[in-house]
Structure 1
Amino acid sequence: DKRVWSVFTKVPYGKVFADRGYIKQELFESLFDRGIHLVHGLKAKMKNKLMPIWDKIMLRKRYIIECINELLKNKAELVHSRHRSIHNFIMNLCSAPAAYCFFDNEPNVLPVYVENTRQLQLF
């Protein structure tokens, strides 16, 4: 769906980790030309391609990130649709990550890895 990926036109460069359902060759090439590297799992009947080990590890850790988002939305009540003022909105936005720090079972994610080069390589 082009509407989903139109958000990434404002991002100058980087990596995006996605599901298998978002894969299309022309979409991949258009994002790659903009400097955005789309990392995804392989669908059935797709050729196996080499991928950096860090990308493979982070692709496996996607479920942890989704788990953290679910905890923030459901337990810390990050999503609230009836903010009566901007102050309440900002207070809710700041209090959800603070409440997350006090959770008993926090999922752990690997540390962030930043590449030194801005040039992407096609594998």
Structure 2
Amino acid sequence: MVSFFEVMIERDFSSAHQLRGYKGKCENLHGHNYKVEIYARGEELNNIGLLIDFGDLKKAADEIVRYLDHRNLNELPPFDEELNPSAENIARYFVEYLNSRIGDERVRVYKVRCYETPTSVATFQIE
């Protein structure tokens, strides 16, 4: 049986978007108060008993939040052309960005849950 440690942080931001190619009201510009849950895991703790410093994970996540907050996602790369700004793609963007910022090979961000509303959530997860 494989065992691992896991940590999770939450972040919030507000953004507008419209879904290209969608047939319905979400093709129109509208906004959400997003919440993201960011999960990191690893099998080993560092020399002081931490998987990752919460402050370091929060700092990296806050870089993304500052970029997205109070903006029209359709105007920001990669959502301007490459990716539709769906909750699924936002979750994937967080995972990929955070893993490029964490310089510790013991720990990986493996899952992000992106809430568009309290009852509508998309998850991107890597194994």
Question: TM-score higher than 0.5 here?
Answer: no
Query: TM-score interval w.r.t. the shorter chain?
Result: under 0.3
Structure whose residues are more often strand by fraction: 2
State the TM-score, normalized to the length of structure 1: 0.25
State the TM-score, normalized to the length of structure 2: 0.24
Higher RCO (CA 8 Å, separation ≥ 6 residues): 2
Structure whose residues are more often helix by fraction: 1
In our comparison, the structure showing a higher alpha carbon Rg is: 1
